Amino acid sequence: MEYSHDTIAAISTPIGVGGISVIRVSGDHAIEAVSRIFQSKSKLTQLSANRSVFGRIVYKGKLVDEVIVTLFREPASYTGEDVVEISCHGSTFITNQILALLLLETRLAEPGEFTQRAFLNNKIGLTQAEAVGDLLNAKTKISHQAALKQHEGRLRNRIETVLSKISDLRVKLELEIDFLEQDLDEIDNSAMIKDLKDVVAELNDLIKTGEEGLIIKDGLRISLVGAPNVGKSSIFNAFLKTERAIVTPIPGTTRDYLEEVISLNGYLVRVYDTAGLRDTDDHIEKIGIKRSYDIIKKSHKVIFVIDGDENEQEYKALSKIVDPQKIIKVLNKADKFSKVNLQDYIKKGYNICSTIKSTGLTELKSSLLENIEISEEELQMGILTNTRQIAAVKKAAGSIKKAVTSLEKQLGYEFTAFDLKEASSALEEIIGRITSDDILNKIFKNFCIGK
């Protein structure tokens, strides 16, 4: 990727009224650009690195604001360039005034450009750069922990360990290919096949963390499904502990899906209250039901709610679009049933709850997290957190499987070496050793301006 040496500036704190605002400037002329509008007892251009100094922003003899300026000199800065941060009073007007003055000497930074420069100047790896974005968007304890571990370089270290193993095997193959007539030790095919299968197992373990990683980052999607008026909205409200959904005894009240986000045992959970699934002539309700089907198909788990009638036809229709293992069957309004009746439903696999009596809801919430909780050990080792990383690891695993096949069928070491090179390239793309401009632009464009 072509590196821009422009000096850039942007507001790094959220726009609005607050105690302070921070404006960040980075580039070869950052110090000179700020010094033209900054007055203090010490000249900014003569200050040593990692110093903060009090002064005033002045333009054409008029005071704009009293500020504190912090100076970082390259390469010991976030971006690897000269960086100046201006802390001014947290007024939108003042902040924009100072930025406008800086833009006379600099240009406005693109979204994520400060972090992009940190990557291009080898201050951080690509997985660590992605972790910066994850930290900015972390909404729960676990998503925060996962982003911190990735920012510490845990995933990068895990990838580099696998790359080292592949590189050792590639060296053996290349020596055999290039020095076939020399008196070198022959390759033990059986041992190499075993080593490659061990690497595939490691990559498969890493791939498994991807689903949990996506859930940690984007949230566990839960849909409430059932016939109209079985109490889906009441369960929805009970989860949220608020009257978010309108609950009435009239079938068809929810004509479109509702979405809310909750934190459950540290996990981000997106709860969707879907429109009741039924045949209807109402055009608007039909649109709501279609949207509900789209949400249901993308859900990690589906809560199928009944209030007595088992709705077997609806359950069969639901099972055709959702893996039955993802469906949690719930009997609502349990307060209306006898103990004998409830036992019959329990035997049929139903979870029993009553929003009126507030019973069974805790157990229902716990069932949502079954089989997805990620261990502290896995977080410490490093996990995959986006589809780019998952796709690359799957590609690497596929290439190594091809290498195993070439060895087993004795197709020639050239084929095996080529497959291992493909595997290495896929893993190197994750950590940024080999990365296309399109991938970089896609990653950094999702950052805020000023980061």
- Whole-number pLDDT of residue 179: 58
Fold of the domain built from segment(s) 8-124: Gyrase A; domain 2 (3.30.1360)
Q: Containing H/E element for 226?
A: strand 220-226
Other CB atoms within 10 Å distance of the CB of residue 241: 8
Identify the CA nearest to 291 among candidates 323, 259, 268.
259
Q: Name 448's Cβ contacts closer than 8 Å, sequence gap at least 6.
A: 111, 112, 136
Identify the CA nearest to 84 among candidates 46, 33, 40.
33
Burial (CB < 10 A; 0-12, 13-18, 19+), residue 321, is exposed
* Contact in structure between 449 and 425 (CB atoms under 8 Å): no
Domain 136-215+378-444: homologous superfamily in CATH: tRNA modification GTPase MnmE domain 2 (1.20.120.430)
In order along its 451 residues, the chain shows pLDDT tens digits of 455 789 999 999 988 888 899 999 999 999 999 999 999 998 999 888 899 999 999 999 999 999 999 999 999 999 999 999 999 999 999 999 999 999 999 999 998 899 999 988 989 888 888 888 888 888 888 888 888 888 888 999 999 999 999 988 988 888 777 655 555 557 788 899 999 999 999 999 999 888 888 888 888 899 888 877 788 888 888 887 755 444 444 444 444 567 888 888 778 888 888 765 555 566 555 666 667 778 888 888 999 988 877 677 778 878 888 888 889 998 888 888 888 888 988 898 888 988 888 888 888 888 888 777 677 788 888 889 889 999 999 999 999 999 999 999 888 888 999 999 999 999 999 988 765 565 556 556 666 666 6
The segment(s) of the chain belonging to CATH 1.20.120.430 are 136-215+378-444
* Contact in structure between 387 and 187 (CB atoms under 8 Å): no
Q: Name 177's Cβ contacts closer than 8 Å, sequence gap at least 6.
A: 413, 414, 417
3-state DSSP assignment of residue 305: strand
3-state DSSP assignment of residue 311: coil
3-state DSSP assignment of residue 220: strand
Domain 218-368: homologous superfamily in CATH: P-loop containing nucleotide triphosphate hydrolases (3.40.50.300)
Identify the CA nearest to 301 among candidates 402, 406, 225.
225
Give the span between the Cα atoms of 392 and 396, in whole angstroms. Answer: 6
- Whole-number pLDDT of residue 233: 81
- Whole-number pLDDT of residue 137: 80
β-sheet bridge partners, residue 269: 220, 262
SS3 for 24-74 is EEECCCHHHHHHCCEECCCCHHHCCCCEEEEEEEEECCEEEEEEEEEEECC
The segment(s) of the chain belonging to CATH 3.30.1360.120 are 8-124
**Tokens of residue 98, six digits:** 């100072």
Our measurement of the distance from residue 213's CA atom to the centroid of its chain's CA atoms, rounded to an integer in Å, reads 7
* pTM of the shown model: 0.72
Identify the CA nearest to 274 among candidates 243, 252, 300.
252
The segment(s) of the chain belonging to CATH 3.40.50.300 are 218-368
3-state DSSP assignment of residue 240: helix
